[in-house]
Structure 1
């Protein structure tokens, strides 16, 4: 097997009304794709 590096930076934001912070977080990170998990 060849040597390799794998990096998965992850930000987890949770708590009441956290979804309202999503636009700000996207702008800060420059993300083009997100995974939103919602339940409750």
Structure 2
């Protein structure tokens, strides 16, 4: 599971994985609540 980390504007530029992490957190959230991801 992705970790929550403090972010600032510089992090958005220097962390290219930010949005991927955000997507993974959303995916984990949906899975926890019983939603199936479309393949």
| Greater radius of gyration (CA) | 1
